[in-house]
Structure 1
Amino acid sequence: MVEKVCENVAIIGCGYVGRAVACHLQKQGHFVTATTTRKERVTELEEVAAQVVIMTGNDAKAVKSVVQNQDTCLVSLAPISTRQVDAEVYRETYIPTAENLVAALKENSSVKQLIYLSSCSVYGNKNGEWVDETFGVDTDNEYNQVLGEAEQILLSSVREDLSVCILRLGGIYGPGRELMKRLSRLAGKRLPGSGENVGFWIHLDDSVRAVDFARQHRFNGIYNLVNDLRWTYRELCDYVCDKQGLERIVWDASQPSFRPLNAQISNRKIKAAGYTLIHPQTIV
């Protein structure tokens, strides 16, 4: 596939991943429009985008305006909060944005590629089984219900001239979100569960490059985006604590795990599509 010299790309939601994608695409010469809900982030985003728009996804007119004359649209949302939010806040963040975007795309012929960043957590508890993109979404967890519903709303916009790609990401780590620092804060603490759930991770670099790969190759459908490492949380936390000479975490198997995902996530589909991981094994 021949890469266009320059595309117009709208990024709805410029948090950790969205901002990094904007920076990557702008360096390639693409015209990037970044959206944010916070006025105080405009100056920061102007460093990585040609245009910054303050908007919320529940503003249908704003969504319609931002996708005008775009070639690609990336949706990279997160609830606005510094703490864990309830499922209703999740719904208010994801569903109106998805619905308004689909409505806008019905009247838009310029957008050829829509990419939505979802999460592998949607699989929920599969009792440690291997799962791929054909498996159903967890309907017991309210957060996963919302993420799965948003996926289906966006997938409904597929048409002959519009590809829709859902990237289900593992836990994201990278600069500013180093796992060594994050997990070392748990040293010596007692945590619920056995710690035997396998953790699934993806480096920021791979998150960015996979988005660009999906854009260039006009991906359709759902793809898991996780690295090749298959460590349990216990193994990973023990490694981090031992490496820094810290007291290991104590796991309380009498208590249910606070992590809803319990499955082995396959990344074969995205590899078969031609994507090669930058950090297949690196974790810390």
Structure 2
Amino acid sequence: MKVAIVGCGYVGTRVAKNLRGKSDYTVTATTATPERVAQLEDVAQRVAVLKGNDKNAMAAVLQAQDAVLLCVGARNPHSYKESYLDTAKTLISVLQETPTVKQVIYTGTYSVYGDRQGELVNEDSPVAPANPNGEILAETERILLAASSPNLKVSILRLGGIYGPGRELVKIFRGFSGNTRPGAGEDVTNWVHADDVVGGLIFALENRLQGIYNLVGDVSLSSRELLDRIFEAHNLPKASWDGSPSVRPYNARVSNQKIKAAGYQFIHPEIREF
């Protein structure tokens, strides 16, 4: 199978490396940064420099591909439209002229559920983005799903916060140790290990999943519980909380039952870094 991975950052690079190790896959990796070409040549048979709004470059990448994994990320809060929405629009416009592609899988985020006051949500829950960038992410999903057809499966994986090698939780949150955080720490967090992001993507690819699937671990911890466990495990001072209203734009307990019912078995169902 020929697979193009559009966006080879933390997630895309790991997926490329995994697929290249399988004899029945040929991987094309893309990057917007020419300096990363040599690095990606170690994990993919073919590497292309691609900006998401470049239709000609996208068409060249997708030529004769069987599947596309859209693993883009924004460099900063001001680049969401370019990174997500513009890339999705370009991809869909090119797919209309690329009949070989039968599967598109997009790594989105559970943040599109917005602030649900910690309530349980699943894939049938309406999205409620809390800010303009959340609206961009929700619109990106809508554009991709609208391209579904009998000949093209489109799958949206709504990821939890990603942790794993190089993104250990203690590294992410060390700066909070011993400091006072806004709120009461009661907002709910959802995490997924990098191994399960790779595993979930490959599962969706090999099973030709269609539609929306949450890809988060089994356990949703409050911010206070998460930080307390991290800092206790690493003998660091705990964070304190000022009790002010929470400013976190998304707060929901996310169900992963749909993807498990489809047959995916989590490698790390519970957070493993405590």
Match of 2:179 among 173, 182, 189: 189
- The alignment status of 1:137 with 2:119, answered yes or no, reads no
The CA distance in 2 between the partners of 1:117 and 1:224, in whole Å, is 10
2:108·2:137 contact (CA, 8 Å) conserved in 1?
A: yes
Show the counterpart of 2:73.
78
Match of 2:60 among 65, 71, 83: 65
The CA distance in 1 between the partners of 2:242 and 2:57, in whole Å, is 48
User: How many matched pairs?
Assistant: 272
1:127·1:263 contact (CA, 8 Å) conserved in 2?
A: yes
Match of 1:93 among 83, 90, 96: 83
- CA positional deviation for 1:226: 0.3
Deviations 1:131-169 (A, max 9, x none): 101112224311110001001111111111110000000
Equivalence map 1:1-284=2 (5 Å): 7-29=1-23, 30-80=25-75, 84-86=76-78, 89-257=79-247, 259-284=248-273
> Match of 2:52, as an amino acid?
G
Q: Secondary structure at the match of 2:213?
A: strand
Q: Secondary structure at the match of 1:185?
A: helix
The two structures, once aligned, show a CA RMSD in angstroms of 1.1
The CA distance in 1 between the partners of 2:141 and 2:206, in whole Å, is 21
> Match of 1:11, as an amino acid?
I
Query: Which TM-score applies when normalising by structure 1?
Result: 0.93
Deviations 1:28-69 (A, max 9, x none): 121100000001100100000001100101101111111110
> Match of 1:249, as an amino acid?
A
Identify the range of structure 1 (240-249 vs 14-23) with the bigger mean alpha-carbon deviation: 240-249
Q: Percent identity?
A: 46
Query: Which TM-score applies when normalising by structure 2?
Result: 0.96
The CA distance in 2 between the partners of 1:266 and 1:127, in whole Å, is 15
Identify the range of structure 1 (228-237 vs 8-17) with the bigger mean alpha-carbon deviation: 228-237
2:6·2:72 contact (CA, 8 Å) conserved in 1?
A: yes
Q: Secondary structure at the match of 1:127?
A: strand
Show the counterpart of 1:3.
none
Runs of 4+ in 1 over 6 A off after TM superposition: none
Q: Secondary structure at the match of 1:242?
A: helix
The CA distance in 1 between the partners of 2:129 and 2:203, in whole Å, is 30
- CA positional deviation for 1:70: 0.5
Q: Secondary structure at the match of 1:283?
A: coil
- CA positional deviation for 1:253: 1.8
The CA distance in 1 between the partners of 2:190 and 2:34, in whole Å, is 34
2:130·2:249 contact (CA, 8 Å) conserved in 1?
A: no
Deviations 1:93-137 (A, max 9, x none): 211111111111111111111000000011010111111011122
